[in-house]
Amino acid sequence: PALGQPLLTAEPAPQTVPAAQLPARVWEVATNTGLDSSSGLATAGFRSAKYLPSEWYQSGAELYSRALAGCEWAQQGRAEAKELAAHTNAIAQRNQQASTASLGRRLQDIHIWKAALQKAIEDLDAETSLLAAQKVRLERALDATEVPYAIATDNLQCRERRQPPDLVKDEVERELLKEAELIRNIQELLKRTLMQADNQIRLNQNHKEICEMDWSDKVETYNTDDECSRYSNQSTNVQFHPTSVKFEESASTPETWAKFSHDNIYRAELEKTASINLRALIDSILHDVSRDLRMQCAAVNEAFTKRCEELDDAKYKLEHHLSKILKEIGDQEASIAALKQAIRDREAPLKVAQTRLYDRSFRPNVELCRDEAQFRLIGEAEELTESIESLKKKLLECEQTLRNLEDTRMDLEREIAVKTNSIFIDKQKCLTHRTRYPVVFKLAGY
């Protein structure tokens, strides 16, 4: 190479600018002024700045040292890198195993709470179904009370058609009024209980929905954590999510998470207990209602039976007295006829006696004598007149007695008709209608 040109080990790359256009490079070499300096010698055409052999050896030694040091550092770095890689790999495996185990424990916790929620949901659903069945019984029992109430009111209205003196506020009417009042109170009680059942069913459904939402979240979370627990380093569906390495502000703590489900289950158990108690109350109410209604029905029927017996006895006595009155009327009519005949029988002798006296009043002169015959005729006429008057008086008394007997007969017949009407109302109308009274099972809502 020409003097002043650097040594090249390879052909230089072609320049984008022609060489003729580049300025000439000026080389500045330090002047060697040492003991072995060639300063002052004729050096025309040779480099003026060259390295000394010692510098060349030193430069080589330094390069060898740097090479050895670099190798040592490289070996040490490789060893440290290998150790660090093994350490971090062990840590990563250990952490991944711990995370997988933690996810497994979390899955167990979620499964436990999910199972508890599912049981609470099933129990609450079953309890709601049972309570709905009790509600149906309440509705049937309430509908069943309409027939007894209609019977009681119809009995009261029918008995208003009784005629005096049977139109009395007797024991039957008092029992019927008690029955109507009892049915009204029972209907109000059943309506209030129905409202309680509706409200409890609504609460059961609301808490069931809350538990179902919590259970649904648990199922989704279980599936998510189960999928996460199945991830491995060989999974193909994993990728980087740098923004996920943080805690959400709205995230719950394990304590609040467990408390949330515990509170939901606890409230569900409370509603279940309340529903069970309400079902027991409904069952007790329906049992008591059916028993009270049947007892009151029996009391009314017993009062009707006693009243009908009283009416039958009264009617029998009236008929017995009527038969006696009729016989007495017949006897009285016969007596009156006998009295009339006796009066007629006394009139003929009276005519004879009065005719004798009349004819003897025409006796002449001294023959008009007050003899024994005259006194006897006068006495006979007076006696006959008194007899006829007494007979007529007795006839008047007997006729008045007959009229009284006729009035009594009419009263008895009218009273018998009243009793017959009362018996017809109580027996044929009321008691026959009461045979439609519902049985205990129907009153209990079955």
* Residue-range domain boundaries for the chain: 120-230+253-347+399-445
Neighbours of 197 (CB within 10 A): 23
- Flag whether the pTM goes above 0.95: no
pLDDT in tens, 363-376: 888 888 888 888 89
CB–CB of 400/336 below 8 Å? no
Q: At what angle do helices 146-159 and 254-360 cross, to 10 degrees?
A: 20
Closest CA to 165 of 414, 424, 409, 431: 414
Alpha-carbon distance of 305 to 49, in angstroms, equals: 154
pLDDT band at 47 (very low <50, low <70, confident <90, very high): low
Alpha-carbon torsion 42, 48, 52, 53, what sign? Answer: negative
Q: pLDDT higher for 44 or 433?
A: 433
Alpha-carbon distance of 295 to 312, in angstroms, equals: 25
pLDDT in tens, 244-300: 777 677 788 889 999 999 999 999 999 999 999 999 999 999 999 999 999 999 999
pLDDT band at 184 (very low <50, low <70, confident <90, very high): very high
Alpha-carbon torsion 215, 219, 224, 228, what sign? Answer: positive
pLDDT in tens, 53-79: 888 889 888 888 989 998 988 898 889
Alpha-carbon distance of 111 to 106, in angstroms, equals: 8
Radius of gyration from C-alpha coordinates of the chain: 69
